[in-house]
């Protein structure tokens, strides 16, 4: 029987408990010995929901004074990744930061420096790397089925307005922009699929075109103000985008928790103040003439990432949702479509793979594959895309890295 690893989760919101808390709780080689969240109501509710009795903290400093840990999982808002991961590394803990590494490349570099000094693992929660469909795609690229890849595209459809325009994710100050917060996944997947060619320059366009006060999906009645959040909104019956918190979510984000820190999870996504985008396009040119484009919309009733990867021997077309990889060879009509088997688990079976890998990394059984250096590259690409969209110009990677 292996010695149980002692883990703590910092940030006990959606990912902290819905992914890591649940998955770690199912393992017999790990014990969650501590939960830490700045919100005392949420950290207590998290332990109740996970049905565990760890030590509860509202400050990492207090946790560090009392706990001896093997590893910490950081699932706070992105702007807290840097200070929390710094503290964890300085305490000699292995760290997994759910993506992104940081909200800018400068902080990312400082974290890498600290990780090297500490000798501890600093891994990034790039769970898409564990998607069986994308692993299959990576294998056929590595096996040369597509030949030399020179152009790739990913179109992401995600009805994510409720996530990205209703809470902290809607602010640049909390995320460094959605090209980092959201798209660091996707930039990382391009980097990984293509074998980490050097990115040279980035351009992007992105805006809020739909999720604003001028596009409310219902007719306002005279004197009846909508909002401020779905649970309190007088239009909740007629709004097709309402997001009512469940009984369990109310324990984490209801009035009692909100009174402690003002965090409302379902602020009206149309009326909310925001400076991140609800749709956008980004393009990257890599060395060797490789080009990629990323399309994302958070205004749809569909969830998929649809990839096209073209090489000089074949083109692959992939749907994560349908789990299909279709390969059309350049000079034969032998088109094949493979439906990839996926196991249970969040993000198309990817989350359990991520957690499993981190546990083995902490045990020293393997080296992390989604390294902080990869996290830095994805963050820097997102930062360049963010500068591009704001300044309406192409951004050289040398400006951010």
Residue 34: its H or E element: strand 30-36
Beta carbon nearer to ligand NAD, 311 or 353: 353
Residue 167 CB, nearest approach to ligand NAD (Å): 6
In whole angstroms, the minimum distance from the beta carbon of 211 to ligand NAD comes to: 18
Burial of 339 (0-12, 13-18, 19+ CB in 10 A): exposed
Q: Give the CA angle between residues 22, 3, 32 to the nearest 5°.
A: 30
Please give the angle made by the CA atoms of 94, 353 and 124, to the nearest 5 degrees. 40
H/E run at residue 324: strand 324-329
How many C-alpha atoms does 289 have within 13 Å on its Cβ side?
5
Residues in contact with ligand NAD by CB under 6 A are 10-16, 36-39, 42, 75-78, 80, 84, 98-99, 125, 127, 181, 347
Q: Parallel, antiparallel, or unpaired for β 94-98 and 71-74?
A: parallel
The residue (of 105 and 315) whose beta carbon lies closer to ligand NAD is: 105
The minimum distance between CB 218 and ligand NAD, in angstroms, equals: 27
Q: Min. distance of Cβ 265 from ligand NAD in angstroms?
A: 7
When the beta carbons of 88 and 316 are compared against ligand NAD, the nearer one is 88
Residue 398 Cβ, how far from ligand NAD at the closest point, in Å?
Answer: 26
CB of 401 to ligand NAD, least distance (A): 21
Whole-angstrom Cα distance, residue 122 to residue 98? 11
Select the residue whose beta carbon is closest to ligand NAD and give its number.
13
Which residue, 181 or 242, has its beta carbon nearer to ligand NAD?
A: 181
Closest approach of ligand NAD to the CB of residue 243, in Å: 13
Nearer to ligand NAD, 170 or 181 (CB): 181
CA–CA distance from 127 to each of 76, 162, 204, 220 (Å)?
16, 21, 24, 41
Classify strands 30-36 and 55-57 as parallel, antiparallel or unpaired: parallel
Cβ closest to ligand NAD, residue 6 vs residue 167? 167
Q: Please say which residue, 84 or 269, places its beta carbon nearer to ligand NAD.
A: 84
Nearer to ligand NAD, 13 or 311 (CB): 13
**Residue appearing with tokens 């034969």:** 332
What DSSP string runs through 348-373?
HHHHHHHHHHHHHHHTTSS--SSBHH
3-state class (DSSP) for residue 265: coil
DSSP string across 118-173: HT--EEEE-GGGG-HHHHHHHHHHHTTTT-SEEEEEEEEE--THHHHTTSGGG-HH
Determine if residue 223 is left, alpha or beta; phi over 0 gives left, psi from -120 to 50 gives alpha, anything else beta.
Answer: left
Nearer to ligand NAD, 12 or 388 (CB): 12
Q: Tell me how far, at minimum, the Cβ of 19 lies from ligand NAD, in Å.
A: 7
Question: Residue 42 CB, nearest distance to ligand NAD (Å)?
Answer: 5
Q: How many CB atoms lie within 10 A of CB 256?
A: 15
């Amino acid at each position: 029987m292996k010695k149980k690893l002692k883990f703590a989760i910092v940030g006990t919101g959606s990912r902290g408990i819905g992914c890591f808390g649940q998955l770690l709780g199912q393992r017999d080689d790990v014990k969650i010995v501590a939960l830490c969240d700045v919100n005392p109501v949420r950290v207590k509710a998290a332990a109740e929901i996970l049905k565990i009795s760890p030590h509860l903290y509202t400050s990492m400093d207090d946790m560090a004074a009392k706990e001896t840990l093997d590893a910490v999982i950081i699932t706070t808002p992105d702007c807290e990744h840097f200070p929390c991961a710094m503290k964890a590394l300085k305490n000699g803990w292995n760290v997994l930061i759910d993506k992104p590494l940081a909200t800018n490349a400068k902080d990312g570099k400082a974290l890498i420096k600290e990780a090297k000094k500490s000798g501890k693992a600093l891994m990034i929660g790039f769970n898409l790397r564990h998607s069986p469909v994308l692993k299959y795609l990576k294998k056929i690229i590595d096996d040369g089925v597509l030949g030399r890849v020179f152009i790739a595209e990913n179109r992401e459809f995600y009805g994510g307005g409720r996530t990205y325009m209703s809470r902290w994710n809607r602010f640049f100050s909390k995320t460094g922009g959605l090209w980092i917060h959201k798209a660091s996944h996707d930039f990382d997947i391009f980097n990984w699929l293509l074998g980490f060619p050097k990115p040279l320059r980035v351009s992007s366009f992105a805006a809020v075109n739909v999720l604003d006060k001028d596009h409310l999906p219902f007719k306002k009645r005279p004197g009846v103000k909508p909002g401020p959040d779905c649970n309190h909104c007088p239009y909740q019956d007629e709004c097709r985008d309402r997001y009512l918190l469940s009984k369990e979510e109310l324990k984490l984000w209801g009035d009692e928790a909100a009174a402690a820190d003002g965090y409302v999870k379902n602020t009206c996504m149309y009326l909310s103040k925001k400076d991140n985008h609800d749709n956008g396009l980004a393009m990257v040119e890599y060395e060797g003439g490789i080009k990629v484009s990323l399309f994302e919309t958070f205004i749809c009733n569909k969830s998929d990432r649809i990839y096209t990867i073209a090489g000089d021997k074949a083109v692959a077309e992939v749907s994560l949702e349908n789990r299909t990889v279709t390969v059309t060879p350049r000079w034969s009509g032998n088109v094949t479509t493979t439906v990839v088997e996926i196991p249970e688990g969040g993000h198309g079976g990817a989350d359990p793979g991520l957690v499993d890998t981190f546990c083995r990394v902490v045990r020293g059984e393997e080296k992390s594959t989604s390294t902080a250096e990869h996290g830095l590259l994805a963050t820097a690409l997102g930062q360049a895309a963010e500068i591009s969209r704001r300044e309406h110009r192409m951004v050289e990677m040398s400006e951010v890295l």
